Amino acid sequence: MANLPQSLSITASTSSQPRNTVVKDRETVATERIVVQLILELSNPDHRENALHELSKKREVVQDLAPLIWNSFGTIAALLQEITSVYPVISPPTLSPAQSNRVCNALVLLQYVASHRDTRLLFLNAHLHLYLYPFLKTTSKAKPFEYLRLTSLGVIGALVKVEDVEIISFLLSTEIIPLCLHTMEIGTVLSKTVSTFIIQRVLSHHVGKEYVFARPDRFFAIGQVLGKVVAFLVEQPSIRLLKHVIRCYLLLSEHWRGVEALSSCLPEMFRDGTFSNLLREDPDLMRFLQQLLHKVNQVPAPQAGEGYNHMMVP
């Protein structure tokens, strides 16, 4: 690469800067040159595996790695080639650990792109997240598939962390909620946590609540899976996961149909002290649960056949 991008060009004056600053700048320039070379190597199938591995560790080193990945010739195409290359081995499930690690490294680079302010909407408008959906539909609980689901969820999680209703609306139009609910049912604690976080972020926007309460079956699906996760937490406690679950219930209770249904269908474990040990460890968790219980206890339980409550019964 004859001419480096401006962001990689540093003209430090050794006479006007402290020696340690000059050394640091030299080290930064050297690292950035290595990163540029690694990005170029992504287009070479013979060097791609090592380049993926090394670049997946460089986010904290090079702040603008995402724009470099997006704007460099052929790089996104190379990442998509890596992703689609494992489609044939996810059904039937024959994905190997080595294949999973390699494609997960490619997904990490896409996560950089999805989380960066300058490339986030470009990523979304190119519909690149749709390439991850086949991974989120997998049913195998083997570790290579679990890592694949978890890393894919990390890309979606990077998108929803930003307060942008356009992103939420776009993801809703591509049915992200059923895919997250699927992972909440079959995943490990970690993937359950990330997928529940995504549901929470969706519900925190008015368009998310409108989507859920537009049809009773959508609310039923979320309520049923949240109930299963609560039962799972009895056996495998996790403060983080429980906090996201309670926040989801709390957000559902902000809609009149939701609070009406939850008044009779909220898991009993929230009332009988099952999670008292976890609640003592986290004051915020206790506060969220108290808010939820206060809301649902203020609403008379609807009669059979009214509202959505009759759909919450397993």
Does 7 fall in a domain? Answer: no
User: What is the reported pLDDT for 263?
Assistant: 85
User: What is the reported pLDDT for 32?
Assistant: 85
Last residue of a domain, one of 162, 186, 219: 162
- Pair of tokens at residue 13: 């004056």
pLDDT tens per residue across span 105-116: 999 999 999 999
Q: Cα 228–230–231 angle (5° rounding)?
A: 65
151/208 same-domain check: no
Last residue of a domain, one of 139, 162, 185: 162
Does 13 fall in a domain? Answer: no
311/183 same-domain check: yes
70/151 same-domain check: yes
Residue 4 has pLDDT above 70, yes or no: no
Average pLDDT on 128-148 reads 97
One-character DSSP codes across 181-249? HHHHHHS-HHHHHHHHHHHHHHHTSHHHHHHHHTSHHHHHHHHHHHHHHHHHHHHS--HHHHHHHHHHH
Does 3 fall in a domain? Answer: no
Last residue of a domain, one of 162, 187, 214: 162
Domain of residue 82: give its range.
28-162
User: What is the reported pLDDT for 25?
Assistant: 75
- Which phi-psi region, left, alpha or beta, contains residue 273 (left: φ > 0; alpha: ψ -120 to 50)? left
Residue 71 has pLDDT above 50, yes or no: yes
187/282 same-domain check: yes
104/222 same-domain check: no
Cβ(311)–Cβ(220) under 8 Å? yes
Average pLDDT on 56-83 reads 92
CB atoms within 10 A of CB 103: 27
Q: Which residues pair with 93 in a beta bridge?
A: 90
Give the contacts of 187 (CB within 8 A, at least 6 positions apart).
146, 149, 150, 195
36/148 same-domain check: yes
Average pLDDT on 48-57 reads 94
Q: Cα 86–193–207 angle (5° rounding)?
A: 90
User: What is the reported pLDDT for 300?
Assistant: 56
157/183 same-domain check: no
- Pair of tokens at residue 221: 């699906």
Please state the pTM of the whole predicted model: 0.86
Number of domains making up the chain: 2
239/146 same-domain check: no
Q: Which CATH number goes with the domain that contains 122? A: 1.25.10.10
pLDDT tens per residue across span 157-214: 999 999 899 999 999 999 999 999 999 999 999 999 999 999 999 999 999 999 999 9
Average pLDDT on 144-152 reads 97
Does 239 fall in a domain? Answer: yes
142/205 same-domain check: no
Q: Which residues pair with 90 in a beta bridge?
A: 93
256/141 same-domain check: no
Does 261 fall in a domain? Answer: yes
Does 10 fall in a domain? Answer: no
One-character DSSP codes across 92-159? TB---HHHHHHHHHHHHHHHHHHHSTTTHHHHHHTTGGGGGHHHHT----SHHHHHHHHHHHHHHHHH
3-state SS, residue 90? strand
For residue 166, what is the DSSP state?
H
Please provide the average confidence, as pLDDT, over all residues in the chain.
88
Residue, of 309 and 62, whose pLDDT is higher: 62
152/269 same-domain check: no
224/102 same-domain check: no
User: What is the reported pLDDT for 314?
Assistant: 39
pLDDT tens per residue across span 9-52: 333 333 444 544 445 577 778 888 999 999 999 999 999 999 99
Does 310 fall in a domain? Answer: yes
Does 99 fall in a domain? Answer: yes
